[in-house]
Chain A
């Protein structure tokens, strides 16, 4: 699978992998060749950490979406790579309803840094579905009423009972690198939505996506996009791992095409994460899970594998070198798989059973970086000078 031979990251760079878990956060600092790793953690031991993201614009501001079993949700911020943390002065929260029956943020689920030209702008997606924006580097957050309070969108969001087991979520917030006003987001449930005016208005982007048998694909309520990614090298191309398959769309078309049909039939195209290559829009990776019968959402037949495409989803290759050959019933959540920007690209995923895995050669060969962590919710990677 790997087209690049050798292991030659950019001179002087090292990577840090940020692992968010149900019981805290851990950072793994890799050397220049990604062969040795230093563990920094736990941070926030016992806290439920849904996402930790480094600001790529300054490479020093970290945001962590946190709550605990008892305490309400908040966001913590560090500007010294986790040596010290300070809580947001105004974490994401919905407006207080006059009748007291308004929604309350259960947890912040997703964090996305803003456009490179908009320093200190961040976006957050919450459970239940809400979109929030910060213009001061994550210190204070304000909600987007165009999504959060729109009656039609609220209807599409459904209720807590309609969402994923640990709450319906707004996720996959994408900022077009060409235009800070071009935003995409996804809701589980509620479909994919797009704005070209900085979030003042949103329109649906669900053409061609399938829904569970017997339901109306024209109703966004029934759409469950698990993870949407925009190709950095070709922002007109989007990939999506959906509850009902793997898709791709190439703008200006609005029609998603189910490229997961090209996956092996005995593996299927169900899963949570979607990862795209930083420089090659034809290359992407998924982590298939069993979507049959009662939807176990574990590696099919207990044989975990990443599947990669080099031709935009026309064909897929199994990438399982170094992974257990059998009896490994893994689940990888939608935020728990990612890629670095080195050459060859490093791939990383974390399992709900607390293992962190790395491939230094774009998926051809895998090795375990860490075991015995709590349930892994999210894995992000950043390159540091």
Chain B
């Protein structure tokens, strides 16, 4: 599926877009990690919790759980939420 990468993570992908496959959000993030080592830990902590200022949107709807199911035609947008000045 298509993944839109926020500017804060483009040092890993060197592109605003990436392709990754998976049945769930967790799977897609593992796939991204395989292509771009280190990127997952910047978004997901060691307890598998989404970090406070990272948001995931599937086709425009926020996904709050890593178990969220995905289809190959979905579009995943990773967003850096407001975090202060």
Q: Which residues of A contact B (CB under 8 A)?
A: 68-72, 74, 87-89, 91, 93-97, 100-105
Contact = CB atoms under 8 A, between A and B. Distances in A.
A101 B47 contact: yes
Given A101-B47, A102-B47, A70 B54 contact: yes
Interface string B47-60: 11101011000000
B8 A87 contact: no
Contacts of B46: 93-96, 102, 104-105
A89 B41 contact: no
9 contacts: A70-B53, A70-B54, A71-B54, A72-B43, A74-B42, A91-B38, A93-B45, A101-B47, A104-B46
B9 interface: yes
B45 A72 contact: yes
B8 A100 contact: no
Contacts of B81: 70
Interface in B1-27: 6, 8-9
Chain A at the B interface: SS class: loop
The 6 closest A-B pairs by CB, nearest first: A69-B83, A104-B45, A71-B42, A70-B80, A93-B46, A70-B53
B53 A100 contact: no
Main secondary structure of the interface of B (DSSP, over half): loop
A249 B2 CA distance: 61
B72 interface: no
Range, interface on chain B: 20 to 34
Contact of A87 (B38, B43, B45, B53): B38
A91 B46 CA distance: 11
Contacts of A74: 38, 41-42
Contacts of B84: 69
A89 B47 contact: no
Contacts of A68: 8, 83
A104 B51 CA distance: 10
B4 to A, nearest CB: 15
A70 B38 contact: no
A103 B47 CA distance: 7
A104 B47 contact: yes
Nearest to B84: A69
Contacts of B51: 70-72
A71 B45 contact: no
Nearest to B83: A69
